[in-house]
């Protein structure tokens, strides 16, 4: 077998993309990754006279989440994960609760806005994984609907979005049913190399 010529363009290209610990490449040039990961978290208090909306799905419950918009913690956590992956300011800065136009607005609208920003910056959403921390109500029967609503707002297939629910077994404010929390991670691909 012929020995590869170390000066050939193919070998030089292959070397140029071999990353080293610390971010350099085999030839000393910095390799910019085409993948971006982001994390988001949110919490809202439960109160009377409010609808409980999670992942764009209204869930029957005597109390709902308080907030300026529909207080959908799951959608907010996903928004922040996407904004974080883009290296942008978080939801609170981008959509401030001082903006009266946003009062009572469906958080799926925020997701659509952020998904547009992802595409405008040359990225696409690879997947989103999220978990809701809630003591009650039981969320399992609603997870598939949340997944589909989030995926539709983000313009991705439902299997690119995962939603789980965890109870905190009575621990802390969430365990005492004072509020609901959500966490999410998002992976983006694309952008400038």
Residue 45 or 155: which CB sits closer to Mg ion?
A: 45
Residue 77 or 139: which CB sits closer to Mg ion?
A: 77
CB of 37 to Mg ion, least distance (A): 21
Q: Scan residues 41-60 and list those touching Mg ion (CB under 5 A).
A: 42
Using the rule CB under 5 A, which residue among 55, 65, 76, 108 binds Mg ion? 76
Q: Scan residues 113-172 and list those touching Mg ion (CB under 5 A).
A: none
If one asks whether residue 180 binds Mg ion (CB under 5 A), the answer comes out as no
- Helix/strand/coil (H/E/C) assignment for every residue in the chain: CCCCCCCCHHHHHHHHCCECCCCEECCCCECCCCEEEEEEEEEEEEEECCCEEECCEEECCCEEECCCCCCCHHHHHHHHHHHHHHCCCCHHHHCCCCCHHHCCCCHHHHHHHHHHHHHHCCEEEEEEEEEEECCCCCCHHHHHHHHHHHHHHHCCCHHHEEEEEECCCCCHHHHCCCEEEEEEEEEEEECCC
CB of 8 to Mg ion, least distance (A): 54
Give residues in contact with Mg ion (CB under 5 A): 42, 76
């Amino acid at each position: 077998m012929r020995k590869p010529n170390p000066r050939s363009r193919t070998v030089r290209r292959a070397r140029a993309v071999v990353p080293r610990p610390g971010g350099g490449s085999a030839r000393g040039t910095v390799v910019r990754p085409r993948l971006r990961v982001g994390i988001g978290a949110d919490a809202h208090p439960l109160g009377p006279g409010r609808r409980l909306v999670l992942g764009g799905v209204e869930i029957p419950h005597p109390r709902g989440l308080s907030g300026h918009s529909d207080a959908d913690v799951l959608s907010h956590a996903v928004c922040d994960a996407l904004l974080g992956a883009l290296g942008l300011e978080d939801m609170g800065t981008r959509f401030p609760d001082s903006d009266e136009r946003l009062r009572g607005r469906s958080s799926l609208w925020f997701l659509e806005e952020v998904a547009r920003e992802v595409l405008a910056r040359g990225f696409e959403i690879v997947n989103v994984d999220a978990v809701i921390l809630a003591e009650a109500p039981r969320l399992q029967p609603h997870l598939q609907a949340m997944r589909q609503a989030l995926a539709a707002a983000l313009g991705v297939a439902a299997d690119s979005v995962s939603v789980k629910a965890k109870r905190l077994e009575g621990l802390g404010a969430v365990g005492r049913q004072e509020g609901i929390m959500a966490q999410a991670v998002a992976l983006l691909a694309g952008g400038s190399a």
